[in-house]
Amino acid sequence: MGRSILPSVKTTYTTLSGQARLGGNALGLTPFETKTLDGPGSRRLLITGTPARHGPVGIEPYSGDVIGFLLGEEEEGDAAYVTGDTV
């Protein structure tokens, strides 16, 4: 289902390998990299990539690249951590 909605959204945030695989409007982030979306007025949403993994230590060669996201504005305590899918 996820791939079917890609053409209808402006930007899809993913890993660097996800960007290469999906193309189009996919934007890959590395852990701790931040992108900014301008909102109404002077509001801005910060999207920061976070380290993540799909299982216990050592699973990385099998699980592939994984990333989480921290969403927030520029005010202390306003951030929310978002995971894609978890194990």
Classify residue 8: in a domain, yes or no: yes
Classify residue 87: in a domain, yes or no: no
- Domain, as residue range, for 66: 2-82
Q: Assess contact for 27 and 19: CB atoms under 8 A.
A: yes
Classify residue 78: in a domain, yes or no: yes
d(CA 70, CA 82): 6
**How does 24-39 read in b/e, with b if 16+ C-beta sit within 10 Å?**
eebbbbeeeeeeeeee
**Overall domain count for the chain:** 1
> What pLDDT tens digit does each residue of the chain (87 aa) get?
677 888 899 999 999 999 999 999 999 999 999 999 998 888 899 999 999 888 888 888 888 888 999 999 877 778 888 776 554
SS3 3: helix
Classify residue 40: in a domain, yes or no: yes
